Structure 1
Amino acid sequence: MKLSHIFFIILGVLSCTTSLPTLVMSAEESSARIVNGFAVDISQVPYQASLRVRTITGWSHSCGAVVISTRALATAAHCGVNFLNQPSSLVAAVGTSQRSSGGTTYSISRIIIHELYSNKTLEHDIALAITTQSIVFGLNVAPVTIAPLGITLPNNAEAIVTGFGATAYGSTASSVLLAAQVKIVDQTSCVRSYLRITAITSGMICAIGTNPSRDACQGDSGGPLVYNNNLIGIVSFGEGCADANYPGVYTRVSAYESWIYQKLTGI
Structure 2
Amino acid sequence: MQQLLVLIVALIGSVQSVNITKLSATSRKFNFHLRARIVGGRQTTIEDFPYQVSIVHDRSHTCGGSIYKPDIIITAAHCLVDIEMHDLAVVAGTTDWEGGGVETSIRKFVMHPKFDPKTFDYDIAILKLTDKLQYGPRIQPITLPVYRQEFKPGSVGVVSGWGALGEDGDDPDELHFTSLKIVSNNECYKAYRDINPVTKNMMCAWIRKGGHGTCQGDSGSALVVGNVLAGIVSWGLGCARPNVPEVYTKVSTFRRWLDLNIKSLNN
Interval of TM-score (by shorter of Structure 1 and Structure 2): 0.7 to 0.9
Distance 2:100 2:207 in 1: 30
Give the counterpart letter for 1:38 in structure 2.
R
Cα deviation, residue 147, structure 1: 1.2
Secondary structure of the structure 1 residue equivalent to 2:172: coil
Distance 2:227 2:171 in 1: 26
Q: Map 1:127-206 to 2 at 5 A.
A: 127-206=125-204
Give the counterpart letter for 1:5 in structure 2.
V
- Tell me the equivalent position of 1:229: 227
Deviations 1:118-140 (A, max 9, x none): 10110000001110111111110
Cα deviation, residue 87, structure 1: 0.9
- Tell me the equivalent position of 2:15: none
RMSD: 1.6
Q: Map 1:1-267 to 2 at 5 A.
A: 1-8=2-9, 36-54=40-58, 59-83=59-83, 86-210=84-208, 213-266=211-264, 267=266
Unmatched 5+ stretches in structure 2: 12-37
Q: Does the aligned pair in 2 maintain the 1:2–1:238 contact within 8 Å?
A: no
Cα deviation, residue 2, structure 1: 3.2
Worse-matched range after superposition: 202-211 or 65-74: 202-211
Distance 2:92 2:213 in 1: 23
Cα deviation, residue 40, structure 1: 1.0
Cα deviation, residue 227, structure 1: 0.5
Secondary structure of the structure 2 residue equivalent to 1:235: strand
Q: Does the aligned pair in 2 maintain the 1:114–1:125 contact within 8 Å?
A: yes
Secondary structure of the structure 2 residue equivalent to 1:146: coil
Q: Does the aligned pair in 1 maintain the 2:6–2:237 contact within 8 Å?
A: yes
Q: Does the aligned pair in 1 maintain the 2:40–2:213 contact within 8 Å?
A: no
Give the counterpart letter for 1:164 in structure 2.
W
Cα deviation, residue 143, structure 1: 0.6
Counting aligned pairs with the same residue, the percent is 32
- TM-score for the superposition, normalised by structure 1: 0.85
Unmatched 5+ stretches in structure 1: 11-33
Secondary structure of the structure 2 residue equivalent to 1:145: coil
Cα deviation, residue 6, structure 1: 4.2
Give the counterpart letter for 2:167 in structure 1.
Y
- TM-score for the superposition, normalised by structure 2: 0.85
Change over 3 Å in CA distance of 1:210–1:97 after alignment to 2: farther
Deviations 1:156-212 (A, max 9, x none): 100001100000013221221010000000110000000000100000000012456
Q: Does the aligned pair in 1 maintain the 2:39–2:240 contact within 8 Å?
A: no
Distance 2:152 2:173 in 1: 33
Deviations 1:20-61 (A, max 9, x none): xxxxxxxxxxxxxx963211111111000000012xxxx110
Give the counterpart letter for 2:192 in structure 1.
Y
Give the length in aligned residue pairs: 238
Distance 2:241 2:39 in 1: 14
Distance 2:251 2:175 in 1: 22
Cα deviation, residue 150, structure 1: 3.8
Distance 1:60 1:213 in 2: 26
Q: Does the aligned pair in 2 maintain the 1:234–1:252 contact within 8 Å?
A: yes
